[in-house]
Amino acid sequence: MNKLMSRMKLGSKLILMISLPLIAMLAMAGYIAKNSYDAATEAERMGTVLSQARMQMDLLDALQKEAVASEHYLSKRGKEGAAELQQARAGTDRALAAYREARAGVVDSPRLEQRFVILDKALEGLPLQRQRVDKIKTRPYKMRRAYGEMADALLDVLDNVPWEASDRRVAAQAELIAILERLKELASRERALLARTFASDRFVGQDFVKFSRMLSQQKSLVTRFREMADGDAAQAFDELLASEAGQQVQRMRDKAFEASDYGAFAIQPAEWMAASERLIEGLGRLSQRIEGEAVALEHELRNAATATFWTTLAVLALALVGTLLIGWVVLRNVRAGIGRAVDAASRIAEGDLEQHLEADARDEIGELMSALQRMQTELRHRIEKEAAIAAANLRIRRALDNVASAVTVSNEQNELIYFNGAAEALFRDMEADWRAMNPAFSVDGLKGTPLSRYFEEGEFKQAYMAKLDGERTIEGELAGRQMRLVASPVYDDEGNYQGRVTQWFDRTEELRQAEIERKRLEEERRIAAENQRIRTSLDNASANVMLADNDGNIIYLNRNAQSLFREAEADLRQDIPGF
């Protein structure tokens, strides 16, 4: 086993150690997390949806009962039905309180919030409607319309609740409940309308139009229910419609529709009310059955999530044990090689570059030891090379330190990194005048700062703020002195710009002496010109003029004097033989 592991790459060892168990653990962890989250979310969502649906159904039933009790109370002008009305109102209040409590648990939903606003506005009229009923200050049709608006707003919310369910099955169950509740509401309104019609033995006003609209709406809802319901729910719904109560209600509807023009229905309101009530109760029982199926689905999901949880834990435990076993085998093999590599690296870090490193393994440990071997050799050669470069740099630095010219060196950011003794002496001589120009100037603080910081605006400052492309000579006044700066760029072996070296020449005395010499020459030229004017005057003078130096040597004769001496030359030779 150890021989086999020594031939494997380190990556293969690590992959072998963690891949299969890690993949299994990640897969199982993801599976359990997803199923647990989905189950919890679905259960919570289903609980919220079912709670909302149940509370809305109860509130809708309570409003329907209160509407019936209110109509009976109004029809008797308050002489009968007071106790039943109060009992119905108490039921409505309880259902309303339960509904509002359940509504507080609904997550934020723009769709439902819009419907809740409409529903709240409709329910705000409930106290006023009750006052009008108590005082007999409203008509039955107005009362029915007011309660109908509340029921419609409530049904609108109920219709939109299925959209809040994330699971398709939950949404379908909730929508079936909403359809049944709307059928119950339409059946309740139809019951009241036909009861009045059968009592008067004719349709009054717009009652037939309303009745026709109700039949159309119920037909659409029945079709929708059959499309959505599964086999059991659809069968139960068809059985309800085919029951004695369902058939009786349908026959009374057909009779009312056929005799709508002339009346004479021959149907007792009580008989119609009883059959309609049985049908409404059947719809309610079917709604409760579907709600029970939804609750059973919720329990099924929770049980499935629990089973998945424990199954996943078992798989994770097995994967963990496998990981530990494989990890122990791999770790024992890797630790020895890593230990040798760490020891070798530590000795290299301590400066031991002569140790013998073995790289006989063919795995990553062997490659690491081989790399350490190469690193040790390269470090040794690099140190030797850098030592030679450092010695050469030291010689250059010492040469610069002792050179008579002032020299400075700046880096690629134009920050001063070196100046020799001559430059330091020059800067200290200039320090007082330089501080007068720039108070921040200090010879001790020059290194590490750009020289451009201490120059005034002009050619010097611009030259030391930019990269130097070639040798440049700059002359001008600096801190009261006449300076010449000769700057040359410095590049490394790869041609990268490293900075500049600058020679500083103080030409103040040189220029002063040049100015003195210029003035002397100018004075000599002036005197020479003046002497020339005097000579010209003497040459043209009518008198005989002769000039001699301090030793009596003749240095000048004007023209008349020369003519005189030439005329008397023979006579003067007699007395002066050498004349």
Residue type, 154: L
* pLDDT exceeds cutoff 70 at 186: yes
| Whether residues 392 and 408 fall in one domain | no
**pLDDT tens digit sequence for 347-358:** 777 777 777 776
* pLDDT exceeds cutoff 80 at 190: yes
Total domains, the chain: 4
* pLDDT exceeds cutoff 90 at 14: no
Region of 479 on the Ramachandran plot (φ > 0 left; ψ -120 to 50 alpha; else beta): left
* Token pair for 498: 């490293």
Tokens 């993801």, residue located: 30
Mean pLDDT value across residues 531-539: 76
> Could you tell me if residue 257 is inside a domain?
yes
The pair phi, psi for residue 497, each rounded to 5°, is -65, 125
499 three-class SS: strand
| Nearby residues of 322 by Cβ (< 8 Å), 6 or more positions away | 20, 21
The pLDDT value recorded for residue 576 is: 76
* pLDDT exceeds cutoff 60 at 11: no
The pair phi, psi for residue 138, each rounded to 5°, is -145, 160
Q: 408 forms bridges with which residues in the sheet?
A: 419, 502
| Whether residues 19 and 148 fall in one domain | yes
| Whether residues 80 and 150 fall in one domain | yes
* pLDDT exceeds cutoff 80 at 212: yes
Dihedral through CA 254, CA 260, CA 261, CA 266, nearest 10?
80
Q: Distance between CA atoms of 368 and 337, rounded to whole angstroms?
A: 9
The pair phi, psi for residue 145, each rounded to 5°, is -65, -40
> Could you tell me if residue 573 is inside a domain?
yes
Q: How many CB atoms lie within 10 A of CB 509?
A: 10
**pLDDT tens digit sequence for 444-494:** 888 889 888 888 888 888 888 888 888 889 888 887 788 888 999 988 888
Per mean pLDDT, which range of 129-133, 176-180, 337-341 is the poorest?
337-341
Which residues span the domain enclosing 429? 403-506
> Could you tell me if residue 468 is inside a domain?
yes
The pLDDT value recorded for residue 370 is: 78
Tokens 């350490």, residue located: 372
Pick from 443, 440, 451, 444: nearest CA to 413? 451
| Nearby residues of 81 by Cβ (< 8 Å), 6 or more positions away | 69, 72, 73
Q: Hey, what long-range contacts does 415-420 have (CB within 8 A, 24 or more apart)?
A: 415/448, 415/449, 415/450, 416/446, 416/447, 416/448, 416/449, 416/450, 416/451, 417/447, 417/448, 417/499, 418/447, 419/446, 419/447
| Nearby residues of 397 by Cβ (< 8 Å), 6 or more positions away | 418
Segment holding 25, helix H or strand E: helix 10-75
> Could you tell me if residue 329 is inside a domain?
no
**pLDDT tens digit sequence for 85-116:** 899 899 999 988 888 887 766 555 677 778 77
> Final residue of a domain: which of 372, 402, 432?
402
* Token pair for 288: 């409760």
| Whether residues 126 and 63 fall in one domain | yes
> Final residue of a domain: which of 337, 371, 402?
402
The answer to whether residues 329 and 5 touch, using CB atoms and an 8 Å cutoff, is yes
| Whether residues 363 and 475 fall in one domain | no
Share of the chain above pLDDT 70, in %: 85
| Nearby residues of 345 by Cβ (< 8 Å), 6 or more positions away | 372
**pLDDT tens digit sequence for 543-553:** 777 777 777 77
Q: What is the pTM of this model?
A: 0.46
| Whether residues 100 and 231 fall in one domain | yes
Tokens 């009652």, residue located: 207
| Whether residues 398 and 408 fall in one domain | no
Q: What is the 3-state secondary structure (H, E, C) of 194-213?
A: HHHHHHHCCCCCCHHHHHHH
408 three-class SS: strand
Share of the chain above pLDDT 90, in %: 4
The pLDDT value recorded for residue 90 is: 93
* pLDDT exceeds cutoff 70 at 421: yes
| Whether residues 269 and 121 fall in one domain | yes
The answer to whether residues 171 and 162 touch, using CB atoms and an 8 Å cutoff, is yes
* Token pair for 18: 């963690």
| Whether residues 283 and 256 fall in one domain | yes
Q: Distance between CA atoms of 570 and 19, rounded to whole angstroms?
A: 138
| Whether residues 397 and 432 fall in one domain | no
Q: Distance between CA atoms of 424 and 398, rounded to whole angstroms?
A: 15
Mean pLDDT value across residues 268-278: 86
Name the residue with higher pLDDT: 295 or 289: 289
The pLDDT value recorded for residue 17 is: 64
* pLDDT exceeds cutoff 70 at 2: no
Q: Distance between CA atoms of 214 and 245, rounded to whole angstroms?
A: 18
* Token pair for 434: 């330089």
What is the helix, strand, coil percentage profile of the chain, to 5? Answer: 75, 10, 20
> Could you tell me if residue 531 is inside a domain?
no
The 8-class DSSP code of residue 162 comes to: G
> Could you tell me if residue 521 is inside a domain?
no
* Token pair for 390: 């450092």
The CATH number of residue 442's host domain is: 3.30.450.20
> Final residue of a domain: which of 506, 530, 559?
506
Q: Distance between CA atoms of 128 and 150, rounded to whole angstroms?
A: 13
Q: What is the 3-state secondary structure (H, E, C) of 341-357?
A: HHHHHHHHHCCCCCCCC
| Whether residues 397 and 421 fall in one domain | no
366 three-class SS: helix
> Could you tell me if residue 522 is inside a domain?
no
| Whether residues 395 and 409 fall in one domain | no
The pLDDT value recorded for residue 167 is: 64
Report residue 178's pLDDT band, with 50, 70 and 90 as the boundaries: confident
Mean pLDDT value across residues 336-354: 75
How many CA atoms are closer than 13 Å to the CA of 448, on its beta-carbon side? Answer: 3
User: Distances in Å between the alpha carbon of 153 and those of 112, 122, 164, 355, 396?
Assistant: 11, 7, 18, 90, 96
Residue type, 430: M
* pLDDT exceeds cutoff 70 at 5: no
Per mean pLDDT, which range of 99-108, 151-160, 370-379, 445-454 is the poorest?
99-108
Per mean pLDDT, which range of 243-257, 260-274, 275-289, 294-308 is the poorest?
294-308
* Token pair for 306: 């629990």
> Could you tell me if residue 325 is inside a domain?
no
